[in-house]
Amino acid sequence: MMSQSTTTEKMMDESMQGSSLELHAKAGNTRKLFIESYGCQMNFSDSEIVASILAKEGFDTTQKLEEADLVLVNTCSIREKAEQTVRNRLVHFNRLKKENPNVKVGVLGCMAERLKSKFLEEEQIVDMVVGPDAYKDLPNLIQEIDEGRNAVNVILSKDETYGDVAPVRLNSNGVTAFVSITRGCDNMCTFCVVPFTRGRERSRDPKSILEEVNDLWERGFKEITLLGQNVDSYLWYGGGLKKDFEKASDMQKATAVNFARLLQLVAKAQPKMRIRFSTSNPQDMTLDVIETMAKYNNICNYIHLPVQSGSNRILKAMNRLHTREEYFELIDNIKRIIPDCAISQDMIAGFPTETEEDHQDTLSLMEYVKYDFGFMFAYSERPGTLAARKLEDDIPEETKKRRLREIIALQQEHGLYRTKQHVGKTEEVLIEGTSKKSDAHWMGRNSQNTVVVFPKENYKVGEFVNVKINDCTSATLLGEAVGYSENN
Ligand code: SAM
């Protein structure tokens, strides 16, 4: 399966896939945990919660697999390839277990939830299977495997948000962090496995979100990304599932906090902290969110707004609850209210029954929007989804790949069109670290989330710097610093 992103955007940074996490040792801890994560940013964020829970159980994290007592793999089911990557990794862990039979192996996350105890039968080396809502049960499950029994907990929850677990920031740059605000998803897009693996949608208490943001600021972090499968659907009314909001009391309804309000609360609480959010779903994104973005300088001018297809017929078959025309209206509103707002997409090529005409609709939608970035995938049938049950995966692999190539090529053109618009301007950049390609250069991002690279001079990581943009590629801006920004 072919997929490609034309940016190094953090949400699904390919270079992060499979990275292991290490945090500082805690006095008295005697066992070593090796934890590896795959998939979306939510999974990386969940691994920080798991490490926090296990730090209290006597585990320090390690990046050396050979010294681990417990190996955990936080898995992804979104496409078949993601699952295959994990299966290959388990073969590697099997060799490790042969050398050291005392090592225990646990599978966490979406694959654990999808396959449940079947995992134990299919992969003999796995000792423990834990779904995304069961991490607080890890202490009990580890006791089980310590006593030689296999352990499984894949129960999905109505109210678990881990709001009371302070995540440990693992392998962090100390500048940017993710803050989870919702769990699960109620959208039921027909191609997507997420509602089955992560359960129904629920929102986290804004009080605990604000506490986490304030704490991050105190510790020197300068940018946060509010995370959820569908952040615009955020709704806090005292706890419980989003779908049960109808049954809430009048008081709960009157004091409920929606996403626009949450954004405002966070922006006001830390006016110098940069705020981003991901992912937005077009059907749930409202004007008040865009207006809140425009009102607060510290909310970045960037929206990740997956559309998946440009064809009304396919959008309907995908159960995306908006039309192409409604999507254009949303784009027009964003550009009217925030003219320099960057927009990125997710696109799926070769959904069942997709014709050449549907594919042309996708290309023409892209022409209209001219996205800054994109994440593009060939359709991968996922067992149990509505599409898998109702529609034949009838587009030949070659056709999917060719359509995907055309989508990627067009996105690259548009990426360059967008980056060129920054050339000649001076833009605020938050320095995140050394450029991957040159030790003499810093890498940071502007408000629009475009990567900016410039000579280091005497600037430091975590500083806000004004950078004059002199040149660009289709995904990167090149420039020189002209001083600190007001925000510094
Ligand atoms: N919640 C977001 C939404 O609804 O737009 C993103 C969910 S998913 C973690 C990220 C992306 O993976 C999706 O936007 C979609 O483009 C892609 N994806 C999901 N299921 C897929 C499938 N079965 N085959 C190919 N791509 C898929």
Cα of 348 to ligand 1 centre, how many Å? Answer: 8
- Which residue's CA is the closest to the ligand 1 atom numbered 20? 192
Cα of 111 to ligand 1 centre, how many Å? Answer: 15
Ligand 1 atom closest to residue 346's alpha carbon, by position in its atom list: 16
Helix axes 397-420, 356-369, angle to 10 degrees: 10
Please list the residues that pair with 345 across neighbouring strands.
Answer: 374
Where are any strands of DSSP class E within 6-113?
A: 31-37, 59-61, 70-75, 104-109
According to the model, what pLDDT value does residue 242 have? 86
Cα of 137 to ligand 1 centre, how many Å? Answer: 29
Cβ 180 vs Cβ 45: under 8 Å? yes
- Which residue's CA is the closest to the ligand 1 atom numbered 10? 346
Cα of 192 to ligand 1 centre, how many Å? Answer: 6
Residue to mutate (ligand 1; options 348, 380, 390; most atoms within 8 A of CB): 348
For ligand 1, say whether the CB of 403 is within 6 Å of any of its atoms: no
**Sign of the dihedral through C-alpha 231, 232, 238, 241:** negative
Q: Are strands 202-203 and 182-183 parallel, antiparallel or unpaired?
A: antiparallel
> What is the C-alpha separation between 376 and 411, in angstroms, rounded?
9
Length of the chain: 488
> What is the C-alpha separation between 199 and 194, in angstroms, rounded?
7
> What is the C-alpha separation between 18 and 16, in angstroms, rounded?
6
pLDDT tens, position by position, 429-451: 999 999 999 999 999 999 999 99
According to the model, what pLDDT value does residue 49 have? 94
For ligand 1, say whether the CB of 192 is within 6 Å of any of its atoms: yes
> What is the C-alpha separation between 382 and 476, in angstroms, rounded?
34
- Which residue's CA is the closest to the ligand 1 atom numbered 14? 346
> What is the C-alpha separation between 433 and 456, in angstroms, rounded?
10
- Which residue's CA is the closest to the ligand 1 atom numbered 13? 346
For ligand 1, say whether the CB of 374 is within 6 Å of any of its atoms: no
According to the model, what pLDDT value does residue 5 have? 44
Per-residue tokens: 63: 């990046």
For ligand 1, say whether the CB of 345 is within 6 Å of any of its atoms: no
- Which residue's CA is the closest to the ligand 1 atom numbered 11? 346
Cα of 144 to ligand 1 centre, how many Å? Answer: 35
Which 3 state secondary structure label does DSSP give 382? coil
> What is the Rg, in whole angstroms, of the alpha carbon atoms belonging to the chain?
22
> What is the C-alpha separation between 295 and 333, in angstroms, rounded?
15
> What is the C-alpha separation between 480 and 406, in angstroms, rounded?
34
* DSSP character at residue 16: G
Helices (H), 370-435: 386-390, 397-420
According to the model, what pLDDT value does residue 9 have? 33
Which 3 state secondary structure label does DSSP give 439? coil
pLDDT by residue, tens only, the chain of 488 residues: 344 444 333 334 566 777 776 666 677 778 999 999 999 999 999 999 999 999 999 999 998 998 999 999 999 999 999 999 999 999 989 888 888 889 999 999 999 999 999 989 988 889 999 999 999 999 999 999 999 999 999 999 999 999 999 888 877 899 999 999 999 999 999 999 999 999 999 999 999 999 999 999 999 999 999 999 999 999 999 988 888 998 999 999 888 999 999 999 999 999 999 999 999 999 999 999 999 999 999 999 999 999 999 999 999 999 999 999 999 999 999 999 999 999 999 999 999 999 999 999 999 999 999 999 999 999 999 999 999 999 999 999 999 999 999 999 999 999 999 999 999 999 999 999 999 999 999 999 999 999 999 999 999 999 999 999 999 999 999 999 999 999 98
According to the model, what pLDDT value does residue 6 have? 41
Ligand 1 atom closest to residue 380's alpha carbon, by position in its atom list: 24
Per-residue tokens: 152: 């499984």
Q: Which has the closest alpha carbon to 198: 278, 277, 114?
A: 114
Question: Residue 63: CA atoms inside 13 Å, Cβ hemisphere, count?
Answer: 9
Question: Residue 466: CA atoms inside 13 Å, Cβ hemisphere, count?
Answer: 9
Cα of 275 to ligand 1 centre, how many Å? Answer: 23
> What is the C-alpha separation between 370 and 420, in angstroms, rounded?
13
Residue to mutate (ligand 1; options 81, 315, 346, 408; most atoms within 8 A of CB): 346
Per-residue tokens: 382: 């996922």
Backbone angles phi, psi at 365, to 5 degrees: -65, -40
According to the model, what pLDDT value does residue 169 have? 83
Cβ 8 vs Cβ 51: under 8 Å? no
> What is the C-alpha separation between 43 and 18, in angstroms, rounded?
11
Cα of 229 to ligand 1 centre, how many Å? Answer: 10
Cβ 304 vs Cβ 279: under 8 Å? yes
For ligand 1, say whether the CB of 176 is within 6 Å of any of its atoms: no
